[in-house]
Structure 1
Amino acid sequence: MTRNDRHLTSEDLVTRIDAGSIDTVVVAFTDMQGRLQGKRLHAAYFRDHVLGHGTEGCNYLLGVDVDMNTVEGYAITSWERGYGDMEFVLDLDTIRLLPHLPATALIQCDLAWPDGSPVVQSPRSILQAQIDKAAERGWKAVAGTELEFIAFEDTYEQAFTSGYTGLTPVNQYNVDYSIAGTTRVEPLLRAIRNAMYDAGMDVESAKGECNFGQHEIGFLFADVLETADNHAVYKTAAKEIAAQHGQSLTFMAKYDEREGNSCHIHLSLRGLDDEIVFWDDDAQGRTALYSSFVAGILDGLADFTLLYAPNVNSYKRFADGSFAPTAIAWGEDNRTCAVRLVGHGAGARMENRVPGGDVNPYLAIAAMLACGLDGIERGLELEPPTEGNAYTSGKPTVPRTLRAAREAFATSELARRTLGDEVVDHYTNMADVELKAFEATVTDWERRRSFERM
């Protein structure tokens, strides 16, 4: 059974390979940084040798920095361990066409060790573990991610050559909800929307945002694993389509001093047969389960900020009065709070406004489930909502630097109890790698400030 009628079964894929309409199959997993990594296989080779068996990749892929440099500190991969292989385990529910690429299909993968045991540090495995915990209690989770980007007229090659400065955004003014502003970018936006629909995603809309050249393409909510899978594919495909148009786009959390790129995550629990568990129709209000779930999210927000904001740049987005939250607070339809509750009935859901566009969706959703389920298990009571401006409420704030978030995560009893020591230690090391690289870098800001005047 496929996720929808635009996904392919393995039989559909083989038929298309036999007919010659598919000549390339991409097999990929999502790495720590949220990127698709894998191989392009000739379709006939895939059909004859990989479909029934999977393939392999070096285990250093879960132990490198953003530049693909091997780094120290990871328990699962190192020079001492010999940099062996991981198995790419094909998830046949994820077969989809990539219509922006000729004759190409994609399959997403889980990761396993050669003995068949799962690689628990893999983002997809981390999310699956929380999905399993929810299922044991009779629930499943559905989510949607709202991912913003800034698009530029420059190609990626031109952006690289210029040091990513002096680029021309596709809009020169704030185009939030502007039809004229989005019309100017419609060739790119339309290409992305239609390609993603044909790739099996349920596209909702495109809208302008506040920063110059900033836009958002929205997708319908789905089961959390499907949402994270779609998010990873969309993020890669959007860049590829921009490149095909001679343009570029970035999902980095804070490109410049104006508004950053957010990735608000909407999430709710359902019964395993889609029963509504967050809303009481008779009382016309939240259930106690919903309140405890949100209380758990708030209780773990500081400890898990590292998984919502994984990079040095992520924390530049946390600015008062910027629609990026700083206060660990919840409110009814209040965008100044870290957690915003919206909807009613079947649409009742919580919105986590902390993550930025650089977030790894598997890790962020796993963190939300871990904290929410813990809140239910402990019967946490939800504090009263924050009214008005949460920025000036005096509420505790999320960690404001990567180092502070790293310390909170590494020393968190909650994180270690819900995710496990192996996962916490792995992603603590990822933060250490990022911090070490940043602290050794001399920035343009330092040169401008100090070259002559200091």
Structure 2
Amino acid sequence: MPYPDLNLGDRSLTYERLRSDIEQGEIDTIIVAFTDMQGRLVGKKLSASFFLSEVVANGTEGCSYLLACDVDMNTVSGYEISSWESGYGDLVMTCDMSTLRYIPWQQNTAMVQADVVWEDGSILRQAPRSILKAQLKRLADRGLRALVGTELEFIVFENSYEEAWEEGYRNLKPANKYNVDYSLLGVSRIDGLLREIRLGMTGANMEVESVKGECNLGQHEIAFRYSDALRTADNHVVYKLGAKEIAAARKKSITFMAKFNEREGSSCHTHLSIRGLDDSLTMVDPIDPKKLSNFGSAFIAGQLAHMRETTLFMAPNINSYKRFVEGSFAPTAIAWGIDNRTCSIRLVGRGPGLRYENRLPGGDANPYLVIAAMIASGLDGVDSGMTLEEPYPKSAYDGDLPRVSDTLRSALDDFSSSAFNRASFGDDVVDHYANMAKVELDAFNRSVTDWERFRSFERM
């Protein structure tokens, strides 16, 4: 795999450096990509010379159905922005040149991530990046910014993606045969793949913190240093795509499903703190660095108040809700605690490192939507002067506590009927993602599962 010779101070890719690389023949392909509703990068691979001469200034077009389709890329009804009636016209990908990066696991390739606009230049508000940027502007208008880190778990299989498909995703061979949580031996057994992913992401200008094993068979986590919210979300989707591409090149496969089997699911614990634009600490008590300020308390109170209403942004699929099982380190109750992994919201750190961890999202979550929901909820907590209840000191699995949504149907009902959501994100955004959930539910309701066959074929 052709990794560029990039030292720690030489990984960033500026427009000037890109022009030089293209002129010298070191870069010949530019990926222009944006994130779709499902959290996937979609877009085009362009000739580098064409990118410089045309796309930098004008963007590049794509069909609007890319933000109005299901996971199988089927055209589905119910979306205002795109339909057969409207002719499935174009949207425009406008390049955010601050996102330029090398893609070292692909030969002579760089990537730029895009915002999505209509052909008249107006923002396509339903795009995930647009939704997050709208909430970040609300913070910036108050002199605030969000720092975020996502911890994304995945399961590695010895089977290629093609083999997994042919097997109907049954009888796959996990890369580890037993629980390798924090096991150095378990990580080293597949360090060839994990190392390639780690070095690839380093070459793509991400700062890798660690690699560790997890509980499920073949389950691992690669963690990255926190950054500003938008950059973290941008990095997250590049990493997710890149990890799959690197695994595929080794004839292996990776899944980020929230719940692949009956063992532990794959989470996307999301850490967030709010600081001033001058980097001042806003969430920390000025006297005790282990405690929350009044702002921090109200911000977390907002998370709890709106958790059920925003769950659809944290858990967008049928499978997402299979992860919420008692005793599995996934949350089932709406509660917060100090370093308490049984709660939905976990407070960790002190001083500049004080932050809260949202344990609700799974590996299938769209990071832009997760972070946007967290910011909107927190700001409402602050604006409404919400009071934070005492931290839950015991197992939240056993307490008499309000529960998180346990099905996509209940999450959809809470999401679409929420006045808070409509005020925070807009009717157009709420209706768009409510329709996404309806499409998912309809598809599932038409399906006959293995569970039904095993349960009913002979015995019913």
The TM-score by the shorter chain falls in which range? over 0.9
Residue 409, structure 1, aligned to residue 408, structure 2: no
Instruction: Look up the match of 1:194.
Output: 199
Residue 393, structure 1, aligned to residue 389, structure 2: no
Task: Name the stretch that deviates more: 391-400 or 278-287.
Answer: 278-287
Residue 38 (structure 1) aligned to one of 38, 43, 62: 43
Could you tell me the percent identity over the aligned residues? 58
Contact 1:7 1:94 in 2 (8 A): no
Residue 367, structure 1, aligned to residue 397, structure 2: no
Alignment of 1:27-106 (within 5 A): 27-106=32-111
Instruction: Look up the match of 1:321.
Output: 327
Residue 209 (structure 1) aligned to one of 211, 214, 235: 214
**What SS does structure 1 have at the residue aligned with 2:134?**
helix
**What SS does structure 1 have at the residue aligned with 2:397?**
helix
Query: How many Å separate the matches in 2 of 1:147 and 1:94?
Result: 21
**What SS does structure 1 have at the residue aligned with 2:58?**
coil
Contact 1:56 1:85 in 2 (8 A): yes
C-alpha deviation, 1:283, in angstroms? 3.4
C-alpha deviation, 1:5, in angstroms? 4.6
Contact 1:151 1:214 in 2 (8 A): yes
Query: How many Å separate the matches in 2 of 1:321 and 1:88?
Result: 44
Alignment of 1:288-327 (within 5 A): 288-327=294-333
Query: How many Å separate the matches in 2 of 1:134 and 1:4?
Result: 30
Query: How many Å separate the matches in 2 of 1:373 and 1:281?
Result: 20
Instruction: Look up the match of 1:220.
Output: 225
TM superposition score normalised by structure 2: 0.97
Residue 120 (structure 1) aligned to one of 122, 125, 134: 125
Residue 434 (structure 2) aligned to one of 428, 435, 443: 428
**What SS does structure 2 have at the residue aligned with 1:390?**
coil
TM superposition score normalised by structure 1: 0.99
C-alpha deviation, 1:415, in angstroms? 0.6
**What SS does structure 2 have at the residue aligned with 1:141?**
strand
Q: Which amino acid aligns with 1:121?
A: Q
C-alpha deviation, 1:108, in angstroms? 0.2
Query: How many Å separate the matches in 2 of 1:331 and 1:242?
Result: 37
Query: How many Å separate the matches in 2 of 1:9 and 1:377?
Result: 39
Task: Name the stretch that deviates more: 372-381 or 4-13.
Answer: 4-13
Residue 160 (structure 1) aligned to one of 137, 145, 165: 165
Contact 1:4 1:200 in 2 (8 A): no
- Contiguous gaps of at least 5 residues in structure 1: none
Query: How many Å separate the matches in 2 of 1:155 and 1:253?
Result: 20
Query: How many Å separate the matches in 1 of 2:87 and 2:181?
Result: 51
- Contiguous gaps of at least 5 residues in structure 2: 1-7
Residue 255 (structure 1) aligned to one of 233, 257, 260: 260
Query: How many Å separate the matches in 1 of 2:94 and 2:56?
Result: 10
Query: How many Å separate the matches in 2 of 1:246 and 1:327?
Result: 40
Contact 2:285 2:294 in 1 (8 A): no
**What SS does structure 2 have at the residue aligned with 1:128?**
helix
Alignment of 1:255-294 (within 5 A): 255-284=260-289, 285-294=291-300
Query: How many Å separate the matches in 2 of 1:123 and 1:53?
Result: 21
Query: How many Å separate the matches in 1 of 2:397 and 2:331?
Result: 8
Aligned length: 452
C-alpha deviation, 1:281, in angstroms? 3.8
Q: Following superposition, which runs of at least 4 residues in structure 1 exceed 3 angstroms of deviation?
A: none
